[in-house]
Amino acid sequence: DSAGAVDGLNLYVYVGNNPLKYRDPTGHVKTKIEQENAEEGAVGGINNIAAIKLDAGEYAKAEESVLSLDLKMERIKAIQQEILHLEVFKKLGELPSATRLYYDNLPYRDVDNKINVLRADIRNRIADIEKKHGVSSNRATMRFTASDEFKDMLFKQYKVGNCGEFTDMMMSELNKNYPEMIVEKVSIDRPNHAFNVLNRDQSTSIFNPEKWNDDSLVVDPWKRTVYTKQEFLLVNSPENFYGLNDRIRGKTEIEVQHNESLMSFLLFKGIKLKAEESAL
C-alpha cells in the first residue's frame, strides 16, 4: 500500500508494516534506504554490504571467524618456516638416501646396502624392547624411534636413511616441538613413499586433502620440503610421490601420534580401513 504519491510515483511502500523509502529520480531505479545510507557513508564497500546482509550478531561471528583463520594461517606459516630451519630436519636432508640418489640418476648401491644393514639393526633393537618390556611391536617401534639411540644410528653410526627413517625421526621431533598438534606418518604403497602430516583435523579423511583444515602441514624431510595444505594440493600426485585421493590403490599405513604417550596405527587397503590399534 502506498503512503502517498507524487505524479504517480510511490514515496513509501509498507513491508510488514515498516515503510521503505525509494529513491527513483528517473522512474527506473529503485534503491532501499539502507543501501542508500551504506552508499553515502561507506568506506570499504565489501564490509558495508556484508553488514547490510547480516544482522549484527552474524556479522560479528563472520568477522571473528575470518580473523581466527587469518591468525591460524599466520601461525602455521611461521611453523612451516620453523620446521624448515630445525637442525634435525636439515640434517636429515643432508643424509645420503638411496632412493633420492636413484631418482637423481646417481650411484646408489652402496648407500642402499648400508640402509639394509641399518634396518636390520633397527629391527633387532625393536625386538629387544618387545621382549624386555612385554609391549607390542608398534609400541616398541614408537619407543625406539623416539630415542637418542635411533638418532645416533642415523647421524653417527650409519649416516644414511630413506623416507621411512626420516619420517620416524620427525614424528618425535614434531611432537616435541608442537605437543598440542597431532603428528602423523603416512606410508603409501603406491608410490612407495612416507611423509608426515601435522595438525590435520582427524574428522577429515586422509584421502581427501581438499577437506583438510587450512592450517595443516605436510612435512617431507626426504624431499627437504614443508607444504601448506594449498601448496600440497598442487603436488598431490603419484608423479610427486604422493597421490592421496579416493581412488588410491594398494596399502596405506598411518601412524597417528596424539601426544607423547598415545599413538594409533591404521592400515588401509584402498580407502577401506582393514586394521586399527592404539598404543599407550
- pLDDT at position 52 is 47
> Which residues touch 160 (CB under 8 Å, ≥6 apart)?
95, 96, 97, 98, 111, 114, 115, 118, 154
- pLDDT at position 48 is 53
- pLDDT at position 57 is 59
Are 22 and 79 part of one and the same domain? no
What backbone phi and psi angles, to 5 degrees, belong to 178? Answer: -135, 65
- pLDDT at position 70 is 85
**Count of domains observed in the chain:** 2
For the chain, the maximum distance between any two Cα atoms, rounded to a whole number of angstroms, is 99
13 lies in some domain = yes
206 lies in some domain = yes
- pLDDT at position 60 is 55
Q: Please tell me whether the peptide bond between 209 and the residue prior to it is cis, using omega within 30 degrees of 0.
A: no
250 three-state secondary structure: coil
Mean pLDDT, each 10-residue run in order, the chain (280 residues) = 45 46 43 43 48 55 68 96 98 96 95 98 97 92 94 98 98 95 96 97 97 98 98 97 96 92 93 90
Of 222, 220, 202, 219, the C-alpha closest to 211 is 202
Are 114 and 240 part of one and the same domain? yes
- pLDDT at position 110 is 97
What number of other Cβ atoms are within 10 A of residue 163's Cβ? 23
- Residue 181 DSSP label: S
Q: Which three cell numbers stand for residue 123?
A: 629391527
Domain holding 19, by residue range, is 5-53
265 lies in some domain = yes
Separation between Cα atoms, residue 244 and residue 267, nearest integer Å? 14
- Bridge partner list, 10: 5
- pLDDT at position 29 is 45
- pLDDT at position 61 is 60
- pLDDT at position 261 is 77
Separation between Cα atoms, residue 71 and residue 69, nearest integer Å? 5
Record the pTM.
Answer: 0.76
Are 75 and 20 part of one and the same domain? no
Are 136 and 193 part of one and the same domain? yes
Beta-strand relationship, 251-257 and 183-188: antiparallel
Separation between Cα atoms, residue 276 and residue 98, nearest integer Å? 31
Are 203 and 155 part of one and the same domain? yes
Distances in whole angstroms, Cα of residue 182 to Cα of each of 150, 173, 174, 202, 275:
22, 12, 9, 9, 20
Separation between Cα atoms, residue 32 and residue 20, nearest integer Å? 7
Are 150 and 261 part of one and the same domain? yes
